[in-house]
Amino acid sequence: MHSTSHRIRILPDYGAPHILDQLGFCSKIQAMTDPSDTSPRMVRVAVAVVRRQNLLLICRRKPDTVLADFWEFPGGKILPGESAERCAVREVFEELGIQIESNYSLEPSSHSYPHGLVHLTPVVCTYLSGQPRPIGCSEFRWILPAELSGYRFPPANASLLEYLVKQDLLHQSG
């Protein structure tokens, strides 16, 4: 008897896991979206939502990188054994040379790109000290949350951007 293994990629937005559960594929889906899975097909990333008063820090990706010239929150790959909070602090120092403090993590999300699945954990941080320098990015800016829509971010950031704008509007009206 010949056995064949099939890989199924599911975008979280499609809501299809319940259908595949009936077909017995749940464990395969969980293995592909589980944040503890460190296989090459998935990258665990922490992004730092750095606040300085009412401003947010954003960076532009270098032209020679994946998703070149997109704007993003500073961050990067979470190393084995590293927490998302620790990764955010480390990556901000490596990319911009500034000190921050991690406060708390927001709800993680996953997004499938042609180059792989990204599991993104946003970490809300506070700026502490240092003058930012574009070490690991082509440029940076401090902007108001209401200005986020004027910048092109990777698709994996969509729910985070929506959340940040909504939170900003709540604070302005409250």
Q: What is the pLDDT of residue 34?
A: 52
Contact assessment for residue 59 and residue 72, using Cβ atoms and an 8 Å cutoff: yes
Contact assessment for residue 160 and residue 109, using Cβ atoms and an 8 Å cutoff: yes
**Could you give all domains of the chain from N- to C-terminal order, each with its CATH number?**
41-173 (3.90.79.10)
How does pLDDT run across 164-174, given as a tens digit for each residue? Answer: 988 876 666 55
How does pLDDT run across 118-145, given as a tens digit for each residue? Answer: 999 999 999 999 999 999 999 999 999 9
SS3 at position 40 = coil
Cα of first residue to Cα of last residue in the chain, in angstroms, is 66
pTM of the full predicted structure?
0.74
Measured distance CA(140)–CA(137) in Å, rounded: 7
**Consecutive 10-residue averages of pLDDT for the chain (174 residues):** 37 34 35 48 94 96 88 97 98 98 95 90 97 96 95 94 84 57
